[in-house]
């Protein structure tokens, strides 16, 4: 297949998925699944077939639609096991509560049964094909979240758990993190024996206060944590060279679309700590999507 055809297919699937995830992620219901599945059609296959219908693909009579189904949709969609995430140490050990400080609110959010969502990084195939990862649960799934002025700002979903796993495994020594979120990355790395200290750069005072009052006290290794209230780029430009950090991790963006500019700014600032190991949240997706 020519590169131009692959690019066209990538663009087509991203447009379809974007419309679905942004506007119709709850369109597939249990009743619809039950009407399709049988002894030979699993829940996951039923979901894939229904999503193809939502995309108005004629996989029986249109060869291009059939190819798009088998080369993309069949690989993109996955039924997820909630216990895989509910047994995560942060989920099991951090007790969540409804709290508000300033414009920020701590509480649970929920994926509805059969609601689609991105659960992992994009996969890039050798021929240039880009495969997003979209999953669903067959029951309601609650996850911790922070809202700012009523809008979802930060959360700990399967996507965060999956996309941070490799970087958590690699973290060592004196760790610096840009962005606090709900402290998931910091919780996981502070529990590692080969991590001696975790410094967090965060400029949102309300997020810091929520974290310090309600989440940090539950960390088993909270003495490893230090928080500096400052803009991340200001710290990276002017302060990072004063202290040697073994491992530096940036997580300031919501997704690929708003991450590219900040990612490129951080890459320029790596020169201020050239011996540090740098890692970035969803770096693979950012690089794949924009072909950096």
The answer to whether residue 292 scores a pLDDT higher than 60 is: no
- Closest to 73 measured CA to CA, from 90, 53, 88: 53
Find all residues with CB under 8 Å of 56, minimum gap 6, and list them.
Answer: none
Neighbours of 68 (CB within 10 A): 20
For residues 225 and 235, give the distance between their C-alpha atoms in angstroms, rounded to a whole number: 17
pLDDT tens track for 69-121: 999 999 999 999 999 999 999 999 999 888 888 988 888 999 999 999 999 99
- Closest to 247 measured CA to CA, from 210, 286, 285, 198: 198
Neighbours of 274 (CB within 10 A): 8
The answer to whether residue 152 scores a pLDDT higher than 60 is: yes
SS3 of residue 219 by DSSP: coil
Pairing of strands 247-250, 173-178: parallel
- Closest to 78 measured CA to CA, from 127, 39, 43, 33: 43
pLDDT value of residue 1: 63
pLDDT value of residue 18: 94
pLDDT tens track for 89-99: 999 999 988 88
pLDDT value of residue 145: 92
pLDDT value of residue 290: 65
pLDDT value of residue 259: 87
Choice among 144-158, 162-176, 186-200, 261-275 with the minimum mean pLDDT: 144-158
Distances (CA, A) of 283 to 13, 266, 278: 21, 12, 11
Distances (CA, A) of 224 to 146, 180, 190, 209: 24, 15, 7, 18
Question: What is the reported pTM?
Answer: 0.92
Choice among 220-224, 243-247, 248-252, 255-259 with the minimum mean pLDDT: 255-259
pLDDT tens track for 32-49: 999 999 999 999 999 999
């Amino acid at each position: 297949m020519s590169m131009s055809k692959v690019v066209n297919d990538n663009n087509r699937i991203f447009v379809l998925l974007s419309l679905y995830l942004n506007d119709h992620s709850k369109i597939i219901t249990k009743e619809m699944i039950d009407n399709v599945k049988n002894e030979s059609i699993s829940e996951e296959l039923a979901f894939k077939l229904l999503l193809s219908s939502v995309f108005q693909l004629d996989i029986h009579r249109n060869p291009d639609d059939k190819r798009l189904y088998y080369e993309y949709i069949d690989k993109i969609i996955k039924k997820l096991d909630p216990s895989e995430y509910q047994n995560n140490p942060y989920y099991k050990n951090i007790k969540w509560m409804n709290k508000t400080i300033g414009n920020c609110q701590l509480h649970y959010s929920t994926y509805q049964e059969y609601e689609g969502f991105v659960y992992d990084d994009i996969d890039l195939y050798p021929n240039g094909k880009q495969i997003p990862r979209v999953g669903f649960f067959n029951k309601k799934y609650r996850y911790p979240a922070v809202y700012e002025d009523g809008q979802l700002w930060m959360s700990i979903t399967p996507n965060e758990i999956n996309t941070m796993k490799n970087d958590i495994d690699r973290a060592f020594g004196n760790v610096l993190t840009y962005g606090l979120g709900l402290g998931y990355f910091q919780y996981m790395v502070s529990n590692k024996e080969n991590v001696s200290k975790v410094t967090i750069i965060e400029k949102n005072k309300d997020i810091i206060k929520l974290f310090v009052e309600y989440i940090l006290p539950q960390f088993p290794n909270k003495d490893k944590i230090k928080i500096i209230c400052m803009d991340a780029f200001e710290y990276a430009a002017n302060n990072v060279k004063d202290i040697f950090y073994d491992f530096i991790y940036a997580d300031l963006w919501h997704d690929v679309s708003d991450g590219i500019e900040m990612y490129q700014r951080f890459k320029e600032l790596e020169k201020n700590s050239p011996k540090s190991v740098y890692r970035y949240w969803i770096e693979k997706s950012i690089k794949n999507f924009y072909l950096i």
